[in-house]
Amino acid sequence: MEYPVWWLPTFSGGFIIACMAIIHVFIAHFAVGGGFFLVLTERKGYAEENPEIIAYVKRHTKFFLLLTMVAGGLTGVGIWFTIGLLSPAATSVLVHRFAFGWATEWVFFLGEIVALVIYHYRFGKMSRRDHMIVGWFYALFAFLSLFVVNGIITMMLTPGAWVETQSFWDGFWNPTFWPSLWLRFAICLILAGLFAFITAHRIADTATREEMIRYAVRFVAFPFVLLVASSVWYIMALPEAQFAMILTKSAQTPQLVKIFLPLSVALLIGVLIYAYITPQKVRPALLGVLLLVGLGQIGMFEWIREAGRRPYMIHSYMWSSSVLVDQTEAVRKDGMLASAKWIGINKITDENLVAAGKELYRIQCMGCHSLNGPMLPIDRVAAGLTRHGMTVQLTGQGKLRQFMPPFLGNKEEIKALSAYIATVLHKPLEEAPVKEPHVEEVAIPEFNPEEDEYVLLAWATEGMNTISDNYSKFTMQIPGSTIRAQLFLRDEVPEIITEDVTLTYRIENAFSTPSEHVSFWKYAKQLTGKELPPDTGVCDKNLIGTFTLEEENRAFVACSLPVFPYSNDGTVNPYPILRVEARTSDGKLLAATKVAVPVSTEWGCKNCHDGGWRVDGIAGISDKAANTILAAHDKINGTSLEEKVERGTPPQCQSCHESPRAGKDAKRDILAFSAAIHGWHANYMEGDSEAACMSCHPAGPNTNTQAMRGLHVDRDITCVSCHGTMADHALSLLKAEQEKGKPRAEFLMADLIPRASVPLAEVTPREAWVNEPDCSACHDHEELPDSDASAANKWAEGSQELYKNKKDELDAVMCQACHGATHALYPAENGYGEDRNNIAPLQYQKFAAPLGSQGGCVCHTEEMSVYDSAHHPIIE
């Protein structure tokens, strides 16, 4: 925030610094190890009285001087130049807090220069003893330079007590100082041996050439033991946070750590092959490969060290966006644009939204990410997100994927940055408007209260069955809507009829062939374990069939009917009509009714995961959206779901994540499906309103389905009123998983703050589909609920206590028979009209309200008082 940053969007600051730093470090480490190689080899030549070796050392000294002093010096200056322009805040800390250290290092570096110049230009012109003393001085000064620089740069990864004390010595003698020093020194000696091959290869005398090549092998082979030991020491010396980041949390370093030692072994084997097996004319090519491997080895170590600092520039002190950690809350409150001293845009408007986002990108993103460049390009890492998805990503950034720093700014700045990135990626800044549903007329079945003897009530057990429909990619839920029905013989005391009667159902013709619209039946055996004929559900029922008696509920049930919202004429309607008839054993019609079967494929995945809708611009998960979801899952969890799709075996979520609704058991320590979905997304979708719920579920008025359409909606009761906020909802599920000993639960819970019950200890754990909001939390049938009544954190104790399974006080009539389904309590209305959502009350009492309202219970043949009910007390 204190300094301007060089605008290099194509390459990013991190890429340029890395390129310059790795080349310099490669040369600088050779400069340290090469000093020891020079003086020890000179000593060997004198001890053996071999002039060929002395001549070789002299030639190698010239090569050494040009490479280390010229190329090394230029790249050293280049590092300071690049970090000063691209990471000025961290550079300022290093300069000001460690000025004494840098001054000391520059004294040692000056000693290097003087000693090496004397060593080179006085070679053969001084006494052997004095010349070797100068050589030892060079080696000592070079090692001391490494010693000092090592102390400063290891502080950035493991600052230890320096964060609190700001003491030079606390930073210098940090936890990884010694293992890093000896690891680097081992690499220095190995590189000295590698570079010795370059000059040794040019020795004319065959015997001397082979002797020096094999002598150089020692500088690779012997330090290898030190390399292995110090590498293990280095990893074990890391504090817990850095250890976890390097070995598990970073997107790249775990793989690099696994490669580092095998690569070093490969280097050792390659050196031995070069020295003892490879013919002379093949050696130059192999030597080129070995030098590249050596460059890769030092580059890999530097990458591991740099990545281990994430999400910090200086661990626990300065974020990688160059903001001090202790300034985080102030910047979030006041905004980054107001806090940065060198930015001209201080207030975001509609006109400067994208321009402000560009400035925020420069501050917070460009250090690591490029625009269409080689280093973590935004066009690749953000390709699978919509503009809204980027907003959500920035909101939760740094919570779960902890190699990223939190976004430092306010909500307006999040919108600005997401707008800029969307513009760069040529994505629309606004989502396309939702297609409005339209009223579709439905013929209400006739009922004559003077003549008809029976009342037939049918209902869907769920107010909305939301399912995925792209089975060639993945399955979130097996299709299936369950319908219940009860038949009443009207009388002064009505009778529930369950014997000598058959109930049948038939879906309307336009929705009778879902197999023509979805690929479920192609994968049915893989998903369900059995072959299913087209248009048949997992209960072996198709869309024309007979109900089964459910004796414990004195009701009839049609289990898991494979209803989809896709009409044969190409339109989408989430409320297909099912006709239900009750007949005697000889076929006489007793009663008939209709029921809308609520089923939607309008999952909001595409709101964040780019790809749009699959069907008619309003429903279904498209191939592109599904692919982005699979890619994200693979990247975050290390799975191979995309490979499964390519093999023709698309995954089912519940094959790993247990789900009571799907009847799937747990797999190892993996979170249950609802806990995993809500727990992850709750960290990105903050807020106390129902907006987060409606981003995914097709419930709100801004959806085509408009699944929330009942009595509760009319009384301003929202998702949050019953389920709690997104954080509450997730915490209750995760807490149950935590009690089962699943470690991932605690990880997802770490940053979630309960709203319905504080503290966390008061959150009541629950299992999805089993412990849902309990009606009695608000309703006692004695008086009206308070206006702020809430069922959040007050769950039904088991599935039999759920509203869909409850019966009246006589244990006879099921609650949903008279009141309608969850989320669609009578009167229910949305864009598809009143008639489609209230068929039963309109049929039997001619107005939309719970059956029996206003004393009009049609099952009773005598007039009923509004307060006279055996089912439960009625209040007005």
Same domain, 44 and 160: yes
Residues 310 and 362 in one domain: no
- Is 519 in contact with 471 (CB distance < 8 Å)? yes
Mean pLDDT of 65-76: 91
Q: Looking at the predicted structure, is the pLDDT value of residue 166 above 90?
A: yes
Number of folded domains that form the chain? 4
**Of 218-227, 252-261, 596-605, 611-620, minimum mean pLDDT range:** 252-261
Q: Is residue 17 scored above 60 in pLDDT?
A: yes
pLDDT digits (tens, 9 = 90+) for 651-672: 999 999 998 877 666 567 899 9
| Average pLDDT taken over every residue of the chain | 91
Task: Give the list of residues 6+ apart from residue 75 with CB closer than 8 angstroms, or none.
Answer: 20, 23, 24, 27
**Residue 303's closest CA among 157, 92, 140, 452?**
157
Q: 471 and 373 in one domain?
A: no
392: containing domain: 321-424
pLDDT at residue 804 in the model: 93
As a whole number of angstroms, the distance between CA 841 and CA 818 comes to 8
Q: What is the pLDDT of residues 351-375, one digit of tens each?
A: 999 999 999 999 889 888 888 888 8
Angle formed at CA 581 by CA 577 and CA 582, multiple of 5 degrees: 155
In a domain, 430, yes or no: no
User: Which of residues 291, 317, 343 is at a domain's end?
Assistant: 317
Q: Is residue 630 part of a domain?
A: no
Among 279-283, 307-311, 439-443, 481-485, name the most confident range: 481-485
Examine residue 444 and state whether it is found in any structural domain, yes or no: no
Q: Which residues lie below 8 Å from residue 411, measured CB to CB, with a gap of 6+?
A: none
Q: Which residues contact 82 (CB under 8 A, 6 or more apart)?
A: 13, 16, 17, 20
Q: Is residue 590 part of a domain?
A: yes
> Is this model's pTM higher than 0.85 or not?
yes
Inform me whether the pLDDT recorded for 245 exceeds 90. Answer: no
For residue 547, give Cα distances in angstroms to 553, 555, 565, 808, 841.
Answer: 14, 9, 22, 22, 22
For residue 867, what pLDDT is reported?
55
Mean pLDDT of 25-54: 94
Percent of the chain with pLDDT over 90: 69
- What local confidence, expressed as pLDDT, does residue 537 receive? 95
Residue 875 lies in a domain: no
Of 383-392, 560-569, 655-664, give the lowest mean pLDDT range. 655-664
The answer to whether the Cα torsion of 96, 98, 99, 102 is positive or negative is negative
pLDDT of residue 669: 84
What percent of the chain lies above the pLDDT cut of 70?
98
In this predicted structure, what is the pLDDT of residue 809?
A: 84
pLDDT band at 868 (very low <50, low <70, confident <90, very high): low
Looking at the structure, tell me whether residues 283 and 334 fall in a common domain: no
pLDDT band at 874 (very low <50, low <70, confident <90, very high): low
Query: Does pLDDT of 866 surpass 70?
Result: no
| Neighbouring C-alpha atoms within 13 Å toward the C-beta of 136 | 7
Out of 97-101, 336-340, 488-492, 514-518, least confident range: 336-340
pLDDT-based confidence at residue 115 (cuts at 50, 70, 90) = very high
- Which pLDDT tens digit goes with each residue over 459-508? 999 999 999 999 999 999 899 999 999 999 999 889 999 999 999 999 99
SS3 814: strand
Beta bridge partners of 265: none
Q: Check pLDDT > 90 for residue 102.
A: yes
Domain C-terminal end among 600, 630, 661: 600
Beta-bridge mates of residue 659: 664
Contact 576, 596 (CB under 8 A): yes
Of 603 and 438, which is predicted with more confidence?
603
Long-range contacts of 525-528 (CB under 8 A, 24+ apart): 526/649, 526/652, 527/471, 527/475, 527/478, 527/652, 528/478
The pLDDT-based confidence of 817 (bands split at 50, 70, 90) is very high
Query: What is the three-state SS of 159-224?
Result: CCCHHHHCCHHHHHCCCCHHHHHHHHHHHHHHHHHHHHHHHHCCCCCHHHHHHHHHHHHHHHHHHH
Q: Which residues 6+ apart lie within 8 Å of 259 measured at CB?
A: 300
CA 326 vs CA 311, 318, 319, 773: distances in Å: 14, 8, 10, 41
363 in the same domain as 271:
no
Q: What is the pLDDT of residue 816?
A: 95
Q: Is the pLDDT of residue 236 over 60?
A: yes
CA distance 729 to 771: 11
798 and 664: one domain? yes
Residues 106 and 253 in one domain: yes
Mean pLDDT of 716-731: 92
Query: Which pLDDT band, with edges at 50, 70 and 90, does 876 fall under?
Result: low
* In a domain? residue 868: no
pLDDT value at 229 more than 80: yes
Q: Residue 583's closest CA among 500, 681, 703, 516?
A: 500
**CATH number of the domain bearing residue 402:** 1.10.760.10
Q: Do residue 659 and residue 552 come from a single domain?
A: no
Residues 334 and 459 in one domain: no
Helix axis angle, 88-97 to 128-157, nearest 10° = 120
Residues 325, 310, single domain; the answer is no
400-420 mean pLDDT: 92
Residue that terminates a domain, selected from 293, 317, 341: 317
Q: What are phi and psi of 726, to 5 degrees?
A: -55, -40
pLDDT recorded at residue 257:
83
Q: Clarify whether residues 364 and 296 are in a common domain.
A: no
- Domain-embedded: residue 54: yes
How far apart CA 503 and CA 456 sit, in angstroms, is 10
Whether residue 871 is predicted with pLDDT greater than 60 in this model: the reply is: yes
> pLDDT tens digits, residue range 263-276?
889 999 999 999 89
Q: Please indicate, yes or no, if residue 641 is contained in any of the structural domains.
A: no
Supply the pLDDT for residue 875.
62
C-alpha distances in Å from residue 559, one per residue of 505, 526, 545, 555: 12, 20, 11, 12
Are 97 and 239 within one domain?
yes
